[in-house]
Amino acid sequence: MDKKIQQILDMWHKHFENEEVQYSEYEPSDIEYFVGCMLYNHFAFSKAHYNLKTIDLSYDFLTSCGDAEYEKAKEIVASLVFDDEHEKLAFLQNYIQEAKAKYTQPELYLLDRLDYHVSAMAERYEKGVDVEHIDFQNPLLRK
Question: Which band of pLDDT confidence, cut at 50, 70 and 90, is reported for residue 55?
Answer: confident
Q: Is the pLDDT at 110 greater than 90, yes or no?
A: yes
Q: Is the pLDDT at 52 greater than 90, yes or no?
A: no
Q: How far apart are CA 131 and CA 7, in angstroms?
A: 34
Q: Is the pLDDT at 112 greater than 60, yes or no?
A: yes
Comparing CA positions, the residue from 60, 59, 56, 73 lying closest to residue 14 is 73
In tens, the pLDDT along 121-137 reads 898 888 888 766 656 56
Residues 9, 60 contacting (CB under 8 angstroms): no
Residues in the chain, total: 143
DSSP 8-class letter at 19 = G
Q: Find the helix or strand (DSSP H, E) in which 109 lies.
A: helix 109-127
Quickly count: other Cβ atoms within 10 Å of residue 38's Cβ: 21
